[in-house]
């Protein structure tokens, strides 16, 4: 099983590719929705250990899919 959490999400940003995102069926709209979800979760619970990194990861996914 892969790593999870904030650090793992941030590390994944460096290796994420448009090709793998499209092969997985992720759309721009989905990436933006997940980014927004994690940003709202961060507002709701600033102590969430993975929300920031995951929001950043989904932002990178959205940028790759534009």
pLDDT surpassing 90 at residue 66: yes
Percentage, residues of the chain above pLDDT 90 = 89
Three-class SS state of 38 = helix
pLDDT for 1: 47
Across the chain, what does the average pLDDT equal?
Answer: 95
Average pLDDT over residues 42-48: 95
Residues 6+ apart with CB under 8 A from 49: 5, 6
Three-class SS state of 44 = helix
Q: Which domains does the chain have, with CATH numbers?
A: 6-65 (4.10.640.20)
Q: Which of 2, 40, 46 is nearest to 55 (CA)?
A: 40
pLDDT for 4: 76
């Amino acid at each position: 099983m892969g790593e999870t959490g904030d650090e793992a999400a941030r590390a994944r940003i460096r290796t994420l590719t448009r090709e793998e995102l499209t092969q997985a069926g992720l759309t721009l709209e989905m990436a933006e929705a997940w980014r927004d979800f994690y940003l709202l979760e961060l507002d709701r619970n600033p102590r969430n250990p993975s929300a920031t990194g995951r929001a950043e990861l989904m932002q990178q996914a959205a940028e790759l899919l534009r």
